[in-house]
Amino acid sequence: MTFRTYHTSILLRILILAGFLTLTVFFALSGKWTYSAIILFACIVSLYELFRFLRKRFEVMDDFFEAVKYRDFSRQYVEDKKTTDIQRLYRGFNTVNEVVRKMNSEKEAQYLYLQKILEMVDIGLLAYEVNSGSVLWVNDSFQDILGFPSFKNVRFIKARNHGVFDLLFENFYEKPATVELKVHEENVKVLLSNSLFDIGEFSYKLVVIHNIEATLNQTESDAWKKLLSVMTHEIMNSIAPISSLANTLKLQVQAFQNDPETVDLEIEDLDAGLRSIEKRSEGLMKFAKTYRSLNKVISLNPEKIPVIELFRNIEHLMKSLINDKKVRLRYKMSQKDLEITADSYLLEQVLINVILNAVEACKGTKDAVVDVIAEEKPDRRTFIRIVDNGTGITPEVMDQIFVPFFTTKETGSGIGLSLCKQIMTLHGGKIQVFQNREAGATIRLEFPVAR
């Protein structure tokens, strides 16, 4: 509507000016110089009025654009006591200012909301300009973890603690890494990650730190409790009969020594008792050796393994082990040329252990089947799933299935799945257990993207 008003006003003035010019020329050609001079004066007045009209509007526009340049949207243009077209122009300016003020208010509210959230989390966050070191934003948790007061430049940290500065700002971590920071003569374990991003022509770095000392301590404490609980159970199962039997034999020997004439000491009973003690002692020694083997650090020899060859080897190994189990083993692959980067010996050890557990879970199941499925996801991660239709896993067992020495088998050692988890962790992968909807369970081995 404002544009139409301008269009009409300017067009009317141009037509009037053109009319005056035409009359000036007409009277000049007719020799009527007086009329020609008068109308020429009218032309000059019309031209000046057009110039004044345009200049006034341009001044108004220039004033508005100057305010925009300096981001001043607080001005309110008074619309009354002005011509209609300027009133409409002022109304448009006020509308623009109101919209921008509203947008700024919403943006500020979102910023404050985000700032409050980031201030409440216990994760330290810092964003700074890479070249100058100027801090763009930092939350209280970052300062609390490092024990520093408020600062405006990361060089402040360099002056206070050069070692912490190098770890946080001189190194780049593609993945979150656990590092140990020395803060006020204390070592603090933190999970550290960072990323680079650009805003305009400036490069910024975001540093994220999370104090995991308490979490690690709690996790370690829980792990020790579970481990000690299982170890205590296993050790007591061996020591209790040894102690009881030794005490019985001791009483028999003492009775014989006190009264050899009336008390008969059966050598066979004594021999049997000592043999039982020896057997239980050997079991205890075996338990100790098993624990020691579990604690050994395993070294990896990773190589590219064609899955089809891996499955072929496993199939040959499993034939002799499950001939009498009445369980069908089926091997499937998403593609024939699928490869996995891993230690072939250790991976075979994991698969054999997991498949044997699946076969054991199918005992007594009609039409028992164990599927070994390898597939590659679009993000290039590789999975091997061992799916059975057996009895499944109870929630109680699920919680402890990877705890060392925990077993539901009468003759089991309880280190199989614990060792499998250790091997998968060394590969940078995962081992997870899921209960199937219909029957049985699934154990999934996840391998990271090969680099």
**The residue to which tokens 């002005």 are assigned:** 82
Beta bridge pairs of residue 126:
138, 207
Residue 37 has pLDDT above 60, yes or no: yes
Question: For strand 339-342 and strand 382-388, is the pairing parallel, antiparallel, or unpaired?
Answer: unpaired
Dihedral of the alpha carbons of 223, 229, 235, 237, in degrees to the nearest 10: -150
Residue 281 has pLDDT above 80, yes or no: no
Q: What is the pLDDT of residue 240?
A: 67
d(CA 148, CA 140): 10
Residue-by-residue DSSP string for 245-266: HHHHHHHHHHHHHH-TTT----
Burial class (CB within 10 angstroms; exposed 0-12, middle 13-18, buried 19+) of 431:
buried
Residue 1 has pLDDT above 50, yes or no: no
Residue 288 has pLDDT above 80, yes or no: no
- pLDDT tens readout for residues 305-360: 898 988 888 787 776 666 666 788 889 888 888 888 888 888 888 888 888 888 88
What would the two tokens of residue 205 be?
């770095």
Mean confidence (pLDDT) of the chain: 78
d(CA 304, CA 339): 6
Q: Tell me which of 111-115, 156-160, 227-231 is least confident.
A: 227-231
d(CA 63, CA 58): 8
Q: What DSSP character marks residue 192?
A: E
- pLDDT tens readout for residues 95-141: 888 888 889 888 888 888 877 877 777 788 888 898 888 988 888 88
Q: What is the pLDDT of residue 256?
A: 65
Mean pLDDT over 383-398 rounds to 82
Residue 192: name the closest of 205, 208, 172, 170 by CA.
Answer: 208
Beta bridge pairs of residue 384:
374, 445
User: Residue 231: pLDDT band by 50, 70, 90 thresholds?
Assistant: low
Residue 272 has pLDDT above 60, yes or no: yes
Residue predicted with more confidence, 230 or 78: 78
Mean pLDDT over 77-105 rounds to 80
Most confident of 27-36, 77-86, 408-417: 27-36
Residue 223 has pLDDT above 70, yes or no: no
User: Residue 250: pLDDT band by 50, 70, 90 thresholds?
Assistant: confident
Cα 100 to Cα 69, 87, 110, 140, 394, distances in angstroms: 13, 20, 15, 32, 60
**Percentage of the chain surpassing pLDDT 70?**
79
User: 199: helix, coil or strand?
Assistant: strand
Residue predicted with more confidence, 392 or 298: 392
Q: What is the pLDDT of residue 385?
A: 92
Burial class (CB within 10 angstroms; exposed 0-12, middle 13-18, buried 19+) of 391:
middle
